[in-house]
Structure 1
Amino acid sequence: MGKLDGQVAVVTGGARGQGRSHAVALAGAGADIVVCDIGASIASVPYALGSPDDLAETVELVGETGRRCLAITADVRDQRQMDAVADRTISEFGHIDILLANAGIASNAFLSEMPEQTWRDMIDVNLTGVYHSFRAVVPHMLERGRGRIVATSSIVARMGARKSGHYAAAKWGVVGLVKSLAEEVGAQGITVNAVLPSGVQTDMIMNPAIYRELMPDVENPTREAALAMFEAGGGLIQPAEVSEMILLLVSDTGARYNGEAITISGGLSTGTT
């Protein structure tokens, strides 16, 4: 018997990285999975986003656990597309028990030089996309009188970061959104929480644009050199480590967690509020 037997989880940004890890972890605990991802590029994002092939690989990995997995191409910036994800999930699986609002992007620019579209893309994906995901599933959860929701924020929300003001603002907004929704629906059997990891070893961090930010004086900075720099600072979190916290929050043993913003940082958040 798995902790999540008979449950259905929707995971946004599920083509790879944290989303894929969470999907496989929840499936391993017995849940059927719906993963959605944009499957296309965004011009202001300086690395490749998850592809249709990545999404198909997530489906395969979930299938290896013995659970069902449905993949949907959808953009969290569009409420109609997220409503369609919820509607199709309910049509094919009968209900939604868990939402992981995980889809997110990263880019770097000084606020004094940031193009307007870079700001808008960040807020639209990392904050408004979370709202759209909540809005799509919460009415259904209220009708059923139960649900578990977890949104992916970041330690940067609490700390800020150079050339990441737009990212920090969006992720701080996620925390406020989570706490507000938790106030609204906690009495109806729905918990809403956020996880705030520090750097996680996914393509959002491990890409040439980040390598150049880390080593601006190096002509062709490498992945190996970037990993060495991260290791010197305490190392990157593995996606599976975040998935373990997600699994706690969405299981019965996580019922007492509601409106929480849980940092996973290996001590990097010492001194933050």
Structure 2
Amino acid sequence: MSIELPLEGKVAFVTGAARGQGRQHALTLARAGADIVAIDLCAQLPTVPYAMSTPDDLDETVGLIEGTGRKILARVGDVRDFAALKVLADDAVEQFGHIDIVCANAGVYSFGPISSLDIDAERWAEIVGTNLTGVFNTIKAAVPPMIERGAGGSVILTSSTAGIKGLRSMADYTASKHGVVGLMKTFANELAPHNIRVNTVHPTGVRTDMVDNPQLSDWYAANPDMANNVSGNLLPVDLVEAQDISEAVLFLASDSSRYITGVQLPIDAGFTEKA
């Protein structure tokens, strides 16, 4: 007797899926029964100081998803490019018939200089463009097919502890992650009549290449008074694992959360509550 999976027959649209949290979200949703639509930039942005994902990373994600027995449609693309997202969403509907879950996860950040007043225009544009405009573009591209189908669905937006409190030297990142909450609250109201739920997840520091990298470690070693940006969890853990966030994403994607919308869900080990 086969066990019915919680997302059997569902299709999930996941951004930033080449590695890190995005890959783990895609893999977790696939193991729960969903087919996956994946996109990632797979290139380096000039103002991002750590190494970003590559096409090989996305290929690895594809192999992992196929290893679960689920199907995946994967593309290299920039979430700042609405046209690319729209083409992917259209192709997803053509291939799979529908989209049920949107996981707008793609995000980047930079660190230094010490004062946010010294953030230059290029960095501001890249960080806010990816983290906020990219989330809006993802919703705008992937949600209309959900509305047209009329079967409801779930939209999960990745914010951050920086979407709840301010992080020093990171006004661009903090503003973008607060902006994601604004998108969530607006679309939770607008999409509720279509039975589409919209929520945000707010991770603390996660053990991925975005946080656990030598560039950031060296910067905090040189600027120890800034370490409160990524330390100070109430629970006795330094960094949480990507799977910890993926479990929350799976909950919000499934019918277990069918009446939860407009919620900011911290998976932060108490970071935002620490005085």
Shared fold by TM > 0.5? yes
Distance 1:149 1:228 in 2: 29
Code of the aligned partner of 2:117: S
Question: Which residues of structure 2 form unaligned runs of 5+?
Answer: 225-229
What residue in structure 2 maps to residue 267 of structure 1? 270
Partner-residue secondary structure (3-state), 1:136: helix
**Residue of structure 1 aligned with 2:139, choices 127, 130, 134:** 134
Distance 1:217 1:248 in 2: 38
What residue in structure 2 maps to residue 224 of structure 1? none
Distance 2:249 2:125 in 1: 28
**Residue of structure 2 aligned with 1:24, choices 23, 27, 41:** 27
**Residue of structure 1 aligned with 2:49, choices 40, 46, 51:** 46
Q: Structure 1 pair 137/105, CA: closer, same or farther in 2 (3 Å)?
A: same
- TM-score (norm: length of structure 1): 0.92
Distance 1:192 1:170 in 2: 17
What residue in structure 1 maps to residue 227 of structure 2? none
- TM-score (norm: length of structure 2): 0.92
Q: Check the 8 A contact 1:194/1:261 in 2, yes or no.
A: yes
What residue in structure 2 maps to residue 244 of structure 1? 247
What residue in structure 2 maps to residue 165 of structure 1? 171
Q: 1:131-210 residue pairs with structure 2 within 5 A?
A: 131-145=136-150, 146-210=152-216
Deviation at 1:105, TM superposition (A): 0.2
Code of the aligned partner of 2:270: G
Code of the aligned partner of 1:103: A
| Comparing 254-263 and 10-19, the one that deviates more | 254-263
What residue in structure 2 maps to residue 221 of structure 1? none
Partner-residue secondary structure (3-state), 1:100: strand
Partner-residue secondary structure (3-state), 1:159: coil
The CA RMSD measured in Å over matched residues stands at: 2.0
Q: Structure 1 pair 60/230, CA: closer, same or farther in 2 (3 Å)?
A: farther
| Comparing 209-218 and 46-55, the one that deviates more | 209-218
Code of the aligned partner of 2:189: E
Partner-residue secondary structure (3-state), 2:259: coil
Identity of aligned residues (%): 42
Code of the aligned partner of 1:143: E
**Residue of structure 1 aligned with 2:36, choices 30, 33, 36:** 33
Shift >4 Å, 4+ stretches: 227-233
Q: Residues 145-204 of structure 1, C-alpha deviation per residue, up to 9 Å, x if partnerless?
A: 212100100001211111111101000000010110010011211001100011011111
